[in-house]
Amino acid sequence: MHSLDIRRGVTADASALAEFAARTFADTFAAHNSPEDMQAHLASSYGVRQQTSELADPGIVTLLAHRDGRLVAYAQVRCGQPPACVTQEQPVELHRFYVDRAAHGAGVAGRLMLAVHGAARELGGRHLWLGVWERNPRAIAFYAKSGFVHAGSHDFFVGADRQTDHVLVAPVQRPTGGEA
Ligand SMILES: CC(C)(COP(=O)(O)OP(=O)(O)OC[C@H]1O[C@@H](n2cnc3c(N)ncnc32)[C@H](O)[C@@H]1OP(=O)(O)O)[C@@H](O)C(=O)NCCC(=O)NCCS
């Protein structure tokens, strides 16, 4: 029986998170993007300095999931301006949500999503919104079964490549599972 521990990340986690975040981004998207665009995105979004500043930012909650002591997933929830298609009140963004490939389909994502709702409540959110690449069917299926619905679309750049993200929204759940 595996034990899963989900906790808030702290700046001492920056190095492990930077490595994990870059690896899971590459695992997910390298096959569909040019090496140049991947390199540009990895350089601008990941690294010990970048993750240190994210972990220290009071407007961002970073959640780390460890299974048997190994980092297997992370998520980031943050305050910020949503795209115009998000009209629901008090929105907070699910900015990143990544499970290690070896742990896909094992229930880790569902457990982490519950913790994401807790983080959204902490940040004063009543709705979660996110952008997911239109060519990421597994994530789209997971978000649909997690209660997210389509709100619109927006551009997302990987390096110089302009891509289309679906924008999805879900109500933040109360601890009992109802809406906040
Ligand atoms: C997205 C992610 C967090 C979901 O976690 P997971 O453990 O894979 O999720 P689950 O297995 O519970 O659910 C995925 C669903 O997609 C289905 N699925 C798998 N491959 C699929 C595909 N190619 N097309 C459509 N659906 C697919 C699965 O069958 C499952 O549905 P089911 O439970 O009804 O069978 C995880 O896959 C992941 O980290 N992916 C890489 C990073 C990523 O894409 N993050 C999101 C960025 S926005």
Crossing angle, helix 35-45 and helix 14-29, to 10 degrees? 160
Q: Are 67 and 103 in contact (CB under 8 A)?
A: yes
The reported pLDDT for the residue numbered 73 is 98
For the residues 105-131, what does the mean pLDDT come to? 97
Q: How far is the CA of 126 from the centre of ligand 1 (A)?
A: 25
Q: How far is the CA of 174 from the centre of ligand 1 (A)?
A: 24
The protein residue with its alpha carbon nearest to ligand 1, atom 35, reads 105
For the residues 158-178, what does the mean pLDDT come to? 91
pLDDT at 2 over 80: no
Residues with CB under 6 A from ligand 1: 24, 28, 97-99, 104-105, 109, 132, 136-139, 141-142, 145
Beta carbons within 10 angstroms of residue 69's beta carbon: 8
The reported pLDDT for the residue numbered 8 is 98
pLDDT tens by residue, 15-52 = 999 999 999 999 999 999 999 999 999 999 999 999 99
Question: pTM, whole model, 2 decimals?
Answer: 0.95
Q: How far is the CA of 103 from the centre of ligand 1 (A)?
A: 11
pLDDT at 128 over 90: yes
pLDDT at 178 over 80: no
- Mean pLDDT of all residues in the chain? 95
Q: Which atom, in ligand 1's list, is nearest to the CA of 106?
A: 7
The protein residue with its alpha carbon nearest to ligand 1, atom 44, reads 139
Confidence of residue 177 (pLDDT cuts 50, 70, 90): low
Q: Which atom, in ligand 1's list, is nearest to the CA of 99?
A: 39
Nearest to 128 by CA among 144, 117, 137, 118: 117
Between CA 3 and CA 127 the distance in angstroms is: 29
3-state secondary structure of 65: strand
pLDDT at 13 over 80: yes
Between CA 79 and CA 84 the distance in angstroms is: 15
Type of residue found at 96: R
pLDDT tens by residue, 56-101 = 999 999 999 999 999 999 999 999 889 999 999 999 999 999 999 9
Q: Which atom, in ligand 1's list, is nearest to the CA of 27?
A: 41
The reported pLDDT for the residue numbered 174 is 86
The reported pLDDT for the residue numbered 179 is 73
pLDDT at 176 over 90: no
pLDDT at 180 over 80: no
What torsion do the CA atoms of 95, 11, 56, 81 make, to the nearest 10 degrees? Answer: 0
The protein residue with its alpha carbon nearest to ligand 1, atom 10, reads 105
